């Protein structure tokens, strides 16, 4: 039996990956209304990396890595954070936070397709159903007139798709790359390198860096929450859960995050939730479920058994 302390930790960890990760879209939306997008993302990840390395030192976790590992963390940092996260933060200037979260929930679909294209892995029947539903859900989501008519909204939708491709490729890359064995240190270097590259992008685009003393109270609190909870607590909780519960249970965050983001955006920012968005969300998340599940449809199993008998 699990100890009561473990059950409490597991419950808190699930709260972190459900609610905290789901709320990061809202927090970024609040901050990017006042701060330049790439400056915002760069500050978040560089500060987070320093905090992670500080915690590692306190816990006496070695932070020294090889040159190859540093190079690989830089690649992952670029794909996940510089390109993947930086552009999403920029798009939040033009689209709702809940809409962005819902579109990004199709990430498992992109990974599946990329595995098929790059690795030649066969897509199973359940996953094929998921791909179809996912594509239908995305179409219903992005085809709404009020979204397409907004300034830079079509560009933002396209950029988010590019970000999902970047994340998908990064997910495949980190699965085989030589990276630091300690996930805390690995994350720290990814955030440091990704944050530095975001700063380079920011300066190249001529963004004006605004001192924290000039930030409004809402932006200051959003940044603190993004750094402490979004970047450190939620990620630590994610890795803790991967060790103590099944991956399928951890993957349920894929379904909860966009719902949290939609509700927070609607309640706190008066973001619009249309009936078409609700229908698209149900279809899209159902598709994600079919992609993630390892269970087989009973009808397909019976068909296969009958075919084997003949």
Q: Is residue 154 part of a domain?
A: yes
The total of structural domains in the chain comes to 1
**What was the pLDDT predicted at 257?**
86
Note whether 282 and 150 are within 8 A (CB). Answer: no
Which of 45-59, 66-80, 259-273 has the least mean pLDDT?
259-273
**What was the pLDDT predicted at 248?**
58
pLDDT band for position 4 (50/70/90)? low
User: Comparing C-alpha atoms, which of 75, 52, 54, 288 is closest to residue 177?
Assistant: 75
Which of 102-116, 168-182, 235-249, 262-276 has the least mean pLDDT?
235-249
**What was the pLDDT predicted at 9?**
87
Q: What is the pLDDT of residues 24-37, one digit of tens each?
A: 999 999 999 999 99
Q: Is residue 308 part of a domain?
A: no
Q: Is residue 309 part of a domain?
A: no
Note whether 79 and 215 are within 8 A (CB). Answer: no
**What was the pLDDT predicted at 44?**
95
Residues 72-82, mean pLDDT to the nearest whole number:
94
Q: Print the domain residue range for 61.
A: 4-292
Q: Is residue 225 part of a domain?
A: yes
pTM of the predicted structure, to 2 decimals: 0.84
| Distance (Å) of CA 261 to CA 70, 81, 219 | 33, 20, 18
Q: Can you tell me the distance from the alpha carbon of 107 to that of 254, in angstroms, rounded to the nearest whole number?
A: 9
Is pLDDT above 70 for 100? yes
Q: Which residue has the higher pLDDT, 142 or 277?
A: 277
Q: Is residue 118 part of a domain?
A: yes
Helix H segments across 16-66?
21-32, 37-58
Mean pLDDT score across all residues of the chain: 85
Is pLDDT above 90 for 92? yes
Residues 184-191, mean pLDDT to the nearest whole number:
90
The angle formed by the CA atoms of residues 217, 266 and 157, to the nearest 5 degrees, is 95
Is pLDDT above 50 for 303? no
Q: What is the pLDDT of residues 252-291, one digit of tens each?
A: 777 788 888 988 999 999 988 888 888 988 998 888 888 7
Q: Is residue 305 part of a domain?
A: no
pLDDT band for position 74 (50/70/90)? very high
Q: Is residue 183 part of a domain?
A: yes
Give me the percent of the chain exceeding a pLDDT of 90. Answer: 43
User: Comparing C-alpha atoms, which of 191, 173, 169 is closest to residue 72?
Assistant: 173
């Amino acid at each position: 039996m699990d100890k009561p302390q473990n059950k409490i930790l597991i419950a808190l960890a699930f709260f972190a990956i459900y609610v905290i990760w789901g709320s990061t879209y809202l927090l970024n939306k609040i901050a990017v209304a006042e701060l330049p997008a790439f400056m915002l993302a760069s500050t978040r990840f560089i500060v987070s990396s320093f905090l992670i390395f500080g915690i590692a030192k306190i816990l006496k976790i070695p932070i020294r890595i090889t040159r190859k590992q540093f190079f690989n963390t830089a690649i992952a940092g670029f794909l996940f954070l510089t390109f993947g996260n930086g552009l999403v933060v920029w798009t939040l200037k033009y689209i709702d936070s809940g809409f962005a979260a819902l579109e990004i929930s199709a990430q498992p679909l992109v990974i599946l397709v990329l595995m098929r294209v790059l690795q030649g892995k066969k897509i199973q029947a359940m996953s094929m159903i998921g791909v179809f539903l996912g594509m239908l859900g995305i179409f219903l989501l992005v085809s709404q007139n009020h979204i397409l008519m907004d300034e830079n909204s079509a560009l933002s939708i396209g950029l988010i798709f590019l970000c999902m491709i970047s994340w998908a490729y990064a997910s495949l890359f980190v699965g085989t790359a030589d990276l630091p064995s300690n996930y805390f240190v690995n994350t720290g270097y990814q955030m440091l390198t990704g944050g530095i590259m975001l700063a380079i992008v920011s300066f190249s685009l001529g963004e004006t860096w605004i001192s924290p003393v000039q930030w409004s109270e809402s932006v200051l609190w959003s940044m603190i929450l993004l750094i402490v909870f979004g970047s450190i607590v939620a990620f630590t909780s994610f890795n803790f859960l991967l060790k103590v519960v099944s991956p399928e249970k951890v993957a349920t965050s894929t379904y909860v995050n966009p719902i949290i983001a939609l509700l927070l955006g609607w309640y706190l920012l008066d973001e619009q939730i249309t009936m078409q968005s609700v229908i698209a969300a149900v279809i899209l998340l159902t598709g994600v479920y079919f992609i993630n599940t390892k269970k087989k449809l009973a009808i397909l199993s019976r068909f296969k058994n009958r075919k084997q008998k003949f």
